[in-house]
Homo-oligomer: A and B are copies of this chain.
Amino acid sequence: MRIIRTIKEMQNTSKFMMRQGKSIGFVPTMGFLHEGHISLVQEARQQNDCVIMSIFVNPLQFGPNEDFDRYPRDLKRDEELAIQSGVDILFYPHVDEMYPKERTTKLSVKERVDTLCGRSRPGHFDGVATVVLKLLQIVLPDRAYFGMKDAQQVAVIQGLIDDFNVPVELVPCPIVREQDGLAKSSRNVYLTPTERKEAIELSSGLNAAAKAIADGEKESITIKTIIKNYLDQTSGVIDYIEVLSYPELQPVNLIENQVIVAVAVQFSAARLIDNTIATSDIAIGV
């Protein structure tokens, strides 16, 4: 695996590969890799000649009270995992390489942000969109891989790609789960043993919701009630249960097209999120 630290070398390398007719799959990360990232690499590995991963903890997407300085970093371990999972090139730029001087422009995300987790993180997706647009210009991939665990991020980046006609295919990848259905997260270790058992209610509730929608249920309020009955079995506090159009992320009362059903639950020391995309079969083709 080759490690590249400058933008110039990364762009030149990607252009060289393009001219050779090689397809490039890109997995952007902030490092501290876990099974979610590895699943993205595996998907990219299957679909492309070359897999490029970036590791860059992007200061622009952290709020003033968030944990940019304390964000966990472990490059040696990440390198090992990247090599094992089949990454060809690791792009690992310094902050000064990515943001060398005062910018003259500002990219803001206006839609799809004032809901779900974005509601409590003003400006977060502006920083995400800015760094992703830069990375897409630097890595020049044919396909870019993002996990559906952060479905809102996927929706925002799809909007960005559409707005600016970026010549890349966004590939949303399924949430990686534990055997009992709990979405994998580095935060799961903060759950008490009791909470860990209760936490399966998130995915159970979402599964029940998806099944109800597939069976023809169209009322969002009914779907939310189904999920609430599961989440009420836990000791956690429900932060939100939402049924939104996807990828627009607008509230829907009547489910007629593709929706995201998303939940967030605060346990004693961990806030868990999970979601599923569902489509009302009957509505397809309408």
Per-residue CB contact flags for chain A residues 162-185 toward chain B (1 = under 8 Å, else 0) read: 111111000000000000000000
| A282 is an interface residue with CB less than 8 A from chain B | no
Binding stretch for chain B, among A13-21, A41-49, A76-84, A217-225? A13-21
Kindly state the separation between the CA atoms of A159 and B105 in the bound complex, as whole angstroms.
7
Q: Find residues 94-121 in chain A having any chain B CB closer than 8 Å to their own CB.
A: 101-112
Residues from chain B with a CB closer than 8 A to the CB of A109 are 104-105
| A11 is an interface residue with CB less than 8 A from chain B | yes
A237 CB, nearest partner CB in chain B, Å: 31
What count of chain A residues pass the 8 Å CB interface test?
34
Do the beta carbons of B167 and A105 come within 8 Å of each other?
A: no
Kindly state the separation between the CA atoms of A107 and B126 in the bound complex, as whole angstroms.
10
Instruction: Write the chain B residue with the least CB distance to A21.
Output: B19
Number of copies: 2
| A137 is an interface residue with CB less than 8 A from chain B | yes
Residues from chain B with a CB closer than 8 A to the CB of A108 are 105-108
Do the beta carbons of A7 and B165 come within 8 Å of each other?
A: yes
| A140 is an interface residue with CB less than 8 A from chain B | yes
Residues from chain B with a CB closer than 8 A to the CB of A112 are 104
Residues from chain B with a CB closer than 8 A to the CB of A105 are 107-111, 129, 159-160, 163-164
| A24 is an interface residue with CB less than 8 A from chain B | no
User: Which of the listed residues A138, A159, A165 has the most CB atoms from chain B within 10 Å of its own CB?
Assistant: A165
Interface residues of A (CB under 8 A from B): 7, 11, 15, 18-19, 21, 101-112, 129-130, 133-134, 137-138, 140, 156, 159-160, 162-167
